[in-house]
Amino acid sequence: MRPWSKAPPGIAQSRVLLLLILLLCGTFTLADTIPSFSGTNSGTVTGGSASQFHWEYGYGLSLANGVLTVGVDIVFEWDPSITDTQKEAAKQTWKNGITGAWNGMYELIKDDTYHIPIIFVVNFGGDPYTVHVSPGAHGQAGAKTTMTNWHIEDWGLVAAHEFGHMLGLYDEYTTGAIDPSGHFPAYDPSSLMGSVDGFPPPTLYERHFLGIRDWVDSHDPTGEDWELHRVPEPVSLVLFASGFCVVAVARRRLKR
């Protein structure tokens, strides 16, 4: 006898049906509550203690299937001395640096219920950003990388910092393009916008995602409030789970 025919026929089928109904309900509820929309967020930023820095930012946003995708397109203009091998290696380093720093940090929560991941995508080969790439590295022989002038040996955090400017963010170190209004901090070395040193690695805070949150808030046709929430790090998740296990074991022991 075939082992899978042992169960009475009705049970397996009703389970599948129940699962289908649950999945459909879930899909419809999600679609009902979270609309899909897309567009661009662009503007001009003035920064610096004497408002001496000006730049334009622009990025695409798309909310679909419960995920918010934020996309930036960059075209590189390479110094002629840079080889194809160097270009490919640098593009990989920068892409990893950008997605590693930005993805999985914050999510949006709608109606206190639906968690919307924010996924950052960088596409090398399209407008609106043209970045000139020179030999050397940021900080070497007085070289200074800016949003549109990078160096071939720039490490991933440098690209991730400049990517922040492409999202419209200020610097958070005193000589940089800081927020002239003082609303955002002028000095925070723990922030990616304040430092690109890897030790300890700088992080991102809720303030760095506010522009994205505000855009979604103002474009949501249902007009609901959206909140930012820091995604727990895998380590905290493991700690939380192990704490839960310890409590569970302790409770069992108490019951004995």
Instruction: Name beta bridge partners: 22.
Output: none
> Counting contacts by CB under 5 A, is residue 179 touching Zn ion?
no
Q: Return the residues of window 25-44 that contact Zn ion according to CB under 5 A.
A: none
Q: How far is the CB of 161 from Zn ion (least distance, A)?
A: 6
- Where does this chain touch Zn ion (CB under 5 A) — which range of 40-48, 61-69, 122-130, 170-178? 170-178
Q: How far is the CB of 192 from Zn ion (least distance, A)?
A: 10
Angle, in degrees to the nearest 10, between helices 84-102 and 156-166: 70
Q: How far is the CB of 73 from Zn ion (least distance, A)?
A: 19
- Where does this chain touch Zn ion (CB under 5 A) — which range of 134-142, 164-172, 203-211, 242-250? 164-172
Please pick, from the candidates 107, 154, 171, 188, the single residue that binds Zn ion as defined by CB under 5 A: 171
String of contacts with Zn ion for each residue 119-158, x by CB under 5 A: ----------------------------------------
- Distance from chain centroid for Cα 156: 15
User: In terms of CB distance, is 108 or 159 closer to Zn ion?
Assistant: 159
Token pair 């946003």 is found at: 61
User: In terms of CB distance, is 110 or 151 closer to Zn ion?
Assistant: 151
Q: Return the residues of window 103-122 that contact Zn ion according to CB under 5 A.
A: none
State which residue has the least CB distance to Zn ion: 171
Q: Which long-range contacts (CB under 8 A, 24 or more apart) does 47-55 make?
A: 47/170, 47/171, 47/176, 47/177, 47/178, 47/179, 47/180, 48/176, 48/177, 48/178, 48/180, 49/174, 49/178, 49/180, 49/186, 51/180, 53/176, 53/177, 55/147, 55/148, 55/165, 55/177
Dig out the tokens for 69 from the structure.
């995708």
> What is the CB neighbour count within 10 angstroms for residue 143?
16
Binding site for Zn ion (CB under 5 A): 171
